Amino acid sequence: VQLQASGGGLVQAGGSLRLSCVASGFTFSYYVIGWFRQAPGKEREGVSCISSSGGSTEYAASVKGRFTISRDNGLNTVYLQMDNLRPEDTAVYYCARTNAPHCRVGGPAMRDYDYWGQGTQVTVSS
């Protein structure tokens, strides 16, 4: 099982970035995928998750209305579109896979996820 996140970078506040998570080594369309982030000195937190079909999504309150998660099962890829970025969104962003059948309401929880990608740095300047 492999998950590879990419698309991070440096952006000014109010700007946008799109992260991608490409998966391999498992039947991608069977699994819920989540995005997490970890800022310096802080615990890793759940950002968003998407059901196996893509028909159901959940977001942390801090990103709801600004971030959009989507997936393309034909490309084994999950995306995180991040708009209206804020300096407090600065973190390393990770994608991960869970065996849980559904997204947790209010966003993903670390304890539910077993395989993780390597992370991509997002830096938002003020």
Residue 10 — pLDDT band, cuts 50, 70, 90? Answer: very high
Q: Burial code of 76-86, b = ≥16 C-beta within 10 A, e = fewer?
A: bbbbbebeebe
What is the average per-residue pLDDT within 33-53? 97
| Per-residue pLDDT reduced to its tens digit, 63-113 | 999 999 999 999 999 999 999 999 999 999 999 999 999 999 989 999 999
Q: Residue 75 has what pLDDT? A: 98
Q: Residue 38 has what pLDDT? A: 98
CA neighbor of 18 nearest in space, from 107, 64, 85, 96: 85
Average pLDDT over the chain, rounded to whole?
A: 97
Q: In the Cβ-directed half-sphere of 83, how many Cα atoms lie within 13 Å? A: 7
